[in-house]
Structure 1
Amino acid sequence: MFTTRARFTFAVAAIGAAAVLAVGCSSDDSDSHMMPGMSSMPGMHDGTTAQSATRSDFNDADVTFLQEMYPHHAQAVEMAEYVPARSQNQAVLDLAANISKAQAPEMEQIAGLLQSFGKSAPTTAMGHMPNMPGGMSHDTMDGLKALSGKDFDRAWLQAMIDHHAGAITMSNIELAGGTNPDAKALAQKIITTQQAEIDQMRTMLSQN
């Protein structure tokens, strides 16, 4: 297995029907610490297991990157879902919407690539992931949910900056060690998009 897996202590398991949660705003206040809207997450399929690979142009680094980026993206989407009920800042509202809009198609792409590699479908049913690069802990996520207004905006922007920085770290590892052209293209896209958003959020923090 590619050695970079040791950098991440969380595991991505095959998805089962019991992992699927219903979509609803009530998930925002749930004590389960599972990703909200799980039943509608892109690429999620009840009981999906590994299938025969339809391509062989990949290595372990590609698989690790994709299996770990999927829940990383899912956590960013969860964080974005906190914003409408807690922020009155239109710039923050727009950014959160853009993050969700950008990362949902990438999650669909990740699921498709893993299927073509003959690997198990990704899952978000693993709670929060403080040991992944930029991953938020239970306490951080709960802390965000307890805030509102400008206090929320500042805390959310800083948390999302850290989260994006983690995605960039993971993507750079993929560029260095991966071989699949589609996975590497996705990694480069993540770097470009999320670095621009980091720059935007830093500017917003300086003005908030």
Structure 2
Amino acid sequence: MNTRKLATAGAAVLAVAVGLAIVLGGGGDGAEVDDIDGAFIVEMVAHHEMAVEMAEMAQAQAGHPQIQRLAAEIIAAQQGEIEELESIHERLYEEPAGEVDFASLPISEGDAGMNMDMEMLMSAEPFDREFIDMMIPHHRGAIRMARLELDQGSDPEARQLAKGIIAAQSREIVEMNQWRMQWYGEPSPAGSIPPEDG
């Protein structure tokens, strides 16, 4: 993992941390828009960007072919979803993502799975175990964010995308825990699919 990629990952963390604490979308000059669809789009783009960075690291460092395969799937799926999210934003707001200020989703940085230590992952031994233990809470956060969109959002395309995120990342959490049990003797301390009320 080179310094450029690590810096990019750090920037993604910072962007979301700021957004969760105050307002995400940062580039606009207008008033803050209280719109769950917009907040979901902007925050999920940043969330996916972090997952892609973690997966790119796994492609370079993972020892198990299963992790290599999962990393490739995460990159392909989430880069595609980023493009879809940005397209929805353009349709709804007639501005690129980042040009409208949205109130943030009602979720903490920790519950969103955005408090990842990328430097620790880069140097972890064994890498595959640490990747699982970081990607599972990151996926749990995406599921919580997608559930907020389903509960409070109104755009049909954004809601459909949220359903797909929940299905795909729930499946991957189960898969990662199965591997962790097989390779390291116990499931991840990060847990499994978050309950509907958590």
Instruction: Say yes or no: TM over 0.5.
Output: yes
Cα displacement string for residues 141-170 of structure 1 (whole angstroms, at most 9, x for unaligned residues):
11001125xx11111101100000000000
The answer to whether the 8 A contact 1:49-1:120 is kept is: no
* Paired amino acid for 1:207: Q
Residue 100 of structure 1: aligned partner: 75
Partner of residue 141 from structure 2, selected from 161, 166, 172: 166
2:48 corresponds to 1:77? no
Cα deviation for residue 84 of structure 1 reads 2.4
Shift in alpha-carbon separation, 1:83–1:132, aligned structure 2, 3 A: same
* Paired amino acid for 1:146: S
* Paired amino acid for 2:65: Q
Residue 16 of structure 1: aligned partner: none
- Whole-angstrom distance in 1 between the partners of 2:120 and 2:5: 12
Cα deviation for residue 33 of structure 1 reads 2.2
* Paired amino acid for 2:11: M
2:41 corresponds to 1:66? yes
Query: In the comparison of the two structures, how many residue pairs are matched?
Result: 156
Shift in alpha-carbon separation, 1:60–1:29, aligned structure 2, 3 A: closer
- Whole-angstrom distance in 2 between the partners of 1:85 and 1:34: 20
The answer to whether the 8 A contact 1:164-1:195 is kept is: yes
Residue 55 of structure 1: aligned partner: none
Superposition misfits of 4+ residues, deviation over 4 angstroms: 29-32, 129-132
* Paired amino acid for 1:181: P
Partner of residue 10 from structure 2, selected from 33, 39, 48: 33
- Whole-angstrom distance in 1 between the partners of 2:118 and 2:95: 28
In structure 2, runs of 5+ residues without a counterpart are: 13-26, 99-107, 184-198
Whichever structure has more helix as a proportion of its residues is 2
The answer to whether the 8 A contact 1:77-1:103 is kept is: yes
- Whole-angstrom distance in 1 between the partners of 2:113 and 2:8: 22
In structure 1, runs of 5+ residues without a counterpart are: 1-23, 36-47, 51-58, 124-128
- Whole-angstrom distance in 1 between the partners of 2:8 and 2:163: 35
Percent of paired sites with the same residue: 32
- Whole-angstrom distance in 2 between the partners of 1:130 and 1:49: 22
Partner of residue 187 from structure 1, selected from 146, 162, 171: 162
Cα displacement string for residues 173-197 of structure 1 (whole angstroms, at most 9, x for unaligned residues):
1001111100000000000000000
The answer to whether the 8 A contact 2:150-2:162 is kept is: yes
The answer to whether the 8 A contact 2:121-2:130 is kept is: yes
| Paired residues for 1:34-183 under 5 Å | 34=11, 60-118=35-93, 120-122=95-97, 130-131=109-110, 133-137=112-116, 140-148=117-125, 151-183=126-158
- Whole-angstrom distance in 2 between the partners of 1:92 and 1:162: 16
